[in-house]
Structure 1
Amino acid sequence: MRFFREHGLFWANALLFVVFFVGMVLTGNATYNSDQEEHGQAGVGLVQYLGTGDFLEATFENWESEFLQMGSYIVLTVFLFQRGSSESKTPGEHAPQDDDPRNVKVKADTPWPVKRGGLVLVLYENSLLILFTLLFLASVALHAVGGSEAYSADQVEHGEAAVTPLQYLGTSQFWFESFQNWQSEFMVVALIVLASVYLRQRGSSQSKPVAMAHQKTDG
C-alpha cells in the first residue's frame, strides 16, 4: 500500500490513460467501420484498425499537441514569470532549479550524471526538454504517415492523386489538424497560469495555499 500511496499520482493517470485509450480504439473502430459500410467497403477488425491511417492520424495529432505544450512550457518557465501564479518561479528571487549542478556537493544519492559531469551532465540537465522534443517530433512524423494515408484515400475516391507523408505536411489539412489541437493546449496553460493567481484548490500541489495573498508567488 505504501508503494501505491507514494506513486499514486502516476498510476492513477496511467490507468485513466489506458481506460480512455481503449475507449478511443473501440469507438474509433466502430466509427471507421460505419464509414466503410456507407461507402460500400468492408469493415476491419480491431487489430487491423490499429494499422489504419485514421487511427494513426487521430492518435498522434493529439499526442503531438500534448508534447508540444509540455516541452514549450518547460522552456518558457525557465525564462518567464507570472507574479502570483503557482506555476511560476518567484520573480527576482533565487530558485533552486537555477542552481548549477557542477557546484553542488556530491552525495551518495546524487544522480549519476551529476557525479559523472561533462557531456553526460549537459544532456541530463536538459533531459526533460529533450524527451518531450523527441516525442513531439516522433508524433508529428506518425501524424503525417497516418494522415497522408487517410487523406490519400479521400483524394483517390474523388479522382485525385494520393500524397506522400512529406507532401501531406504541406497541405492545409495537416496544419488544420495540428492547429486545432495546439491552440487548445496553450489556451488551457494560459488559463491555469492566470487562474492560479486568484483561485485556489485546497490540498492540490497546483494551487497556492488558500490563505496566501494573490500577488505572492509560490512557484
Structure 2
Amino acid sequence: MSSIARIVRDNSMSILFGLLFVAALAGQAVTGYHEANQQLAARGRAAMSVGSWLTSGGFVNAMAVNWQAAILQLATLVLAGAVLYQRGASHSRDPDKEKHEDAEDRQREADEERRFTWVRRHSLSLALFAFFLLAFTAHLFVGAAAYNEQRSLAGQGPLTPTAYAASAQFWFENFQTWEAEFAVILVFVVLTIFLREERSAESKPLGASEATTGETND
C-alpha cells in the first residue's frame, strides 16, 4: 500500500466529514445568497454581491448558531457519559461495573489520576465547552448584526449586542437549535439499546443483549 493510500485509509473518517462540511457550507452559501437577494428584490433593494453576502451578518450568524448548538451536543454527551449512566446504551459505562471493581482496579485508577493533571483528564470536555463559548459569543455579535440588517429593511433602528442578548429573537435562535441537539442525543442513546450497526464503534456487538451496556467511554 502506498503512503498516500495509507494516509487516506487511516484518516478516511475525518476526510469524509471534512468534504461533507465543505459541500454543505458551499450549498448554504449559494442558496442563502439567492434567498437574501430575493428578499432584497421583494423590498425594492439592490442585490448584494457574493462577497457582501459571505461577510454579512445573515450568513455568518447562520453558521455560528448551528456550530454552537452542534458543539454543545458533543460537549454535553461527553460530559454526561463521564458521570451518568444509561443501561443498555452503547455510549455509556456499565452502572454495575464500579460496584464490583476490586482494590487493584481502584488503585490503578488512582494512579492514573496522579499521573495526569486535572486539565489533562478533562481536556476533551474543556476543549468542547471552550469552542461552544467561542461560537456562542460569535452568535451574539454577528447575530446582532444580522438582526439589525433585518430591522433596517423594516425601517427600524439597530440594537446593541447587549440589547440583542436580552431579546426574544436571540434566545429563540438558541433554543430552537438546542432542543434539536438534545433530542438527537436522546434518540441516539435509546436506539443504541435495541439496534445495532455492524462494525461501528458507536454500536454494541450484534449479539449483545439489550441489557448489555457499552464500554465506549472507559
Give the shorter-chain TM-score range: 0.7 to 0.9
1:92/1:141 CA distance change after superposition, 3 Å: same
Identity of aligned residues (%): 29
Superposition pairs for residues 1-16 of structure 1, below 5 Å? 1-16=5-20
Q: Which residue of 2 aligns with 1:29?
A: 33
Determine the C-alpha separation between the residues in 2 that align with 1:63 and 1:146.
13
Q: Given the alignment of the two structures, is residue 167 of structure 1 paired with residue 167 of structure 2, yes or no?
A: no
Q: Which residue of 2 aligns with 1:185?
A: 181
**More displaced, 203-212 or 183-192?**
203-212
Superposition pairs for residues 24-63 of structure 1, below 5 Å? 24-63=28-67
Determine the C-alpha separation between the residues in 2 that align with 1:68 and 1:187.
12
Q: Give the root-mean-square deviation of aligned CA atoms.
A: 1.9
Q: Is the 8 A contact 1:200 1:209 kept in 2?
A: yes
Q: Which residue of 1 aligns with 2:125?
A: 129
Residue type of the partner of 1:67? I
Q: Given the alignment of the two structures, is residue 99 of structure 1 paired with residue 88 of structure 2, yes or no?
A: no
Q: Which digits, 9 at most, give the CA deviation of each residue in 1:130-184, with x for residues without a partner?
A: 2111111111111122221222233344443310122111111111111111001
Consecutive unaligned residues of structure 2, counting only runs of 5 or more, are none
Q: Is the 8 A contact 2:113 2:121 kept in 1?
A: no
Residue type of the partner of 1:65? A
Residue type of the partner of 2:56? T
Consecutive unaligned residues of structure 1, counting only runs of 5 or more, are 105-113, 115-120
Residue type of the partner of 1:9? M
Q: Secondary structure at the match of 1:99?
A: helix
Determine the C-alpha separation between the residues in 2 that align with 1:103 and 1:92.
25
Determine the C-alpha separation between the residues in 2 that align with 1:103 and 1:38.
64
Q: Given the alignment of the two structures, is residue 65 of structure 1 paired with residue 84 of structure 2, yes or no?
A: no
Q: Is the 8 A contact 1:61 1:177 kept in 2?
A: yes
1:143/1:38 CA distance change after superposition, 3 Å: same
What is the deviation of 1:103? 4.9
Q: Which residue of 1 aligns with 2:88?
A: 84
Q: Secondary structure at the match of 1:160?
A: coil
Residue type of the partner of 2:179? Q
TM-score, normalising length: structure 2: 0.86
Residue type of the partner of 1:33? N
TM-score, normalising length: structure 1: 0.86
Determine the C-alpha separation between the residues in 2 that align with 1:167 and 1:67.
25
